[in-house]
Amino acid sequence: MRRAKDRQHVPKRYYRPEQVCCPQCGQVLRRCYAVGRKYIVFLSGRSLVVSMGYRCPNPKCAGRDRVYVSQAARGLTVRGSSFALEVIVQIGYWRFWQCWTVGQIQAVLTQERHLPISEREVLYLIGVFLVLLRCTYHLRLHAHTAYFRRQGLFLAIDALKPEKGNTALYVVRELKFGLVLQVVPLLAADHLTLAERVRKPIKALGYGIRGVVSDDEKALQIAVAQVFPGVAHQTCQVHCLRDAAAPVTDADQVFKKARKRAIRGPFYAAQRALHHLAPDDPRQVVLSTYADLIRSTLTEGSKPPFDLGGLRVVEDLTRLEASLRHSQKKGAIRSWTTCWPWGNTVRALRLSTGNSNANAGGWSSWSDALIPQTTRVSRAQPLVASNSRSKTFCSNWSSMPNAIPTMRR
């Protein structure tokens, strides 16, 4: 059931117009009534913003009917939203500069700052931030005018094509500052259309073009040669490396699927064993944390050509084995090592790595690299609650705690 919001102990913020005197007769403005009252969520908490209206007290003044309001109060948030701009900007910074997930952002805002916000609202505010960021591109372009006139532009052009036969979105970006200069949806992508709709508006800016980066699309190469003759045109290195790493990526996919298939059976058996433990069992916290980390391993993906999912799965399992061996040496989990059948599973995975199907693609060296990690892992704060039985959840294997609590024997 939805709870009513507490409006009794909410602090108030009063705003009055920046204009003090009447521009017509020069008399001091006088307060008349409250123009707006709105509850706005700031980073410091929720407040009631009251914008007071002021009017000229002179009955003979020509501007007596005009009501002056605070422009600062209007600029606190966007229309239709109850969250301040400082909250929207902070969410955008966490998402795109710190690469936080929506769950992490919502957890920090609710647990640390105690703000009433849901994950759906965080997603909506991320969209608002992108709109605001796009509206500032012309201001940022104007701010760097002197640099562009002196140094010129490095351009990157790429097309987003969801399916063949549909409209493709061509985006032209400036590489130095990451500014989006041109966004054009096109159904026909011949060189004449690209030269007219995509390249000529960039040339009309009047800046020199030092270089262009794009994929190896033939129409783009012809359009660049026509509009910017003599300008260096380079093929994107990411596209080249992705094509060159296609055999490695295919072998990694086979290896990753084989490792995950070997993990799922023992993991589901361990999960069923965890459900039989009492809620107050001291083993519940530690084992549930391991279960959450292994569950994140099953969701590992690949971002070729550099970030391969098979390698990340091997790294996760290696850290798991090193953690279990470290705990056994300390003697802290002697009473519950028999409840966790992962020691034999990880060892079997190590022995079967050299005989896997992915070994044909050049992964024979992986079996030698599967050794316990000796470096200490930095401690990270818990982020999100996993379920009713697990107390904490670490975001990934690198944020796993370096100390395991001693269990009662």
The strand pairing partners of 142, in sequence order, are: none
Q: How many CB atoms neighbour CB 363 within 10 A?
A: 22
Distance between CA atoms of residues 30 and 20, nearest Å: 9
Sign of CA dihedral 207, 211, 216, 221: positive
Structure tokens at 278: 């009492």
The strand pairing partners of 185, in sequence order, are: 169
Q: Strand 232-235 relative to strand 67-68: parallel, antiparallel, unpaired? A: unpaired
As a dihedral over the C-alpha atoms of residue 385, residue 389, residue 395, residue 397, rounded to 10 degrees, the angle is: 170
Q: What is the pTM of this model?
A: 0.53
| 209 phi, psi to nearest 5 deg | -105, 115
Q: Which of the 8 DSSP states describes residue 162? A: S
Give residue for tokens 């990451």: 178
Q: Would you call 51 exposed, middle or buried from its count of C-beta atoms within 10 A (0-12, 13-18, 19+)? A: buried
Give residue for tokens 């084995």: 321
Q: How far is CA 407 from CA 224, 282, 284, in A?
A: 68, 6, 11
What pLDDT was estimated at residue 331? 65
Distance between CA atoms of residues 290 and 404, nearest Å: 11
What pLDDT was estimated at residue 352? 45
The strand pairing partners of 98, in sequence order, are: none
| 186 phi, psi to nearest 5 deg | -130, 140
What pLDDT was estimated at residue 223? 85
Encoded amino acid at 401, one letter: P
Sign of CA dihedral 289, 290, 294, 297: positive
pLDDT in tens, the chain (409 residues): 456 566 778 889 999 998 889 888 888 998 888 888 889 999 988 899 999 999 988 888 888 888 999 889 888 988 888 999 999 999 999 999 988 999 999 999 999 988 888 999 999 999 999 989 888 888 888 888 888 888 888 888 888 777 666 788 888 888 888 788 888 888 777 788 888 888 788 888 888 888 888 887 788 888 888 888 888 888 877 777 877 888 888 888 888 888 888 888 888 888 888 888 888 888 888 888 888 888 888 888 877 777 888 888 888 888 888 888 887 777 654 444 444 444 444 445 444 444 433 333 333 333 333 333 344 444 334 434 334 333 333 444 455 444 444 444 4
Q: How many CB atoms neighbour CB 42 within 10 A?
A: 19
As a dihedral over the C-alpha atoms of residue 148, residue 152, residue 153, residue 154, rounded to 10 degrees, the angle is: -140
67 within 8 A of 35, measured Cβ to Cβ: yes
Nearest Cα residue to 298 out of 317, 282, 273, 285: 317
Q: How many CB atoms neighbour CB 237 within 10 A?
A: 10
Nearest Cα residue to 79 out of 38, 22, 20, 43: 38
Distance between CA atoms of residues 114 and 187, nearest Å: 48
Distance between CA atoms of residues 394 and 291, nearest Å: 11
What pLDDT was estimated at residue 86? 93
Q: Would you call 19 exposed, middle or buried from its count of C-beta atoms within 10 A (0-12, 13-18, 19+)? A: middle
Distance between CA atoms of residues 252 and 111, nearest Å: 39
What pLDDT was estimated at residue 87? 93
Q: Which of the 8 DSSP states describes residue 401? A: -
Q: Would you call 262 exposed, middle or buried from its count of C-beta atoms within 10 A (0-12, 13-18, 19+)? A: middle
Distance between CA atoms of residues 202 and 207, nearest Å: 8
Distance between CA atoms of residues 78 and 40, nearest Å: 11
Q: Which of the 8 DSSP states describes residue 144? A: T
Q: How many CB atoms neighbour CB 323 within 10 A?
A: 21
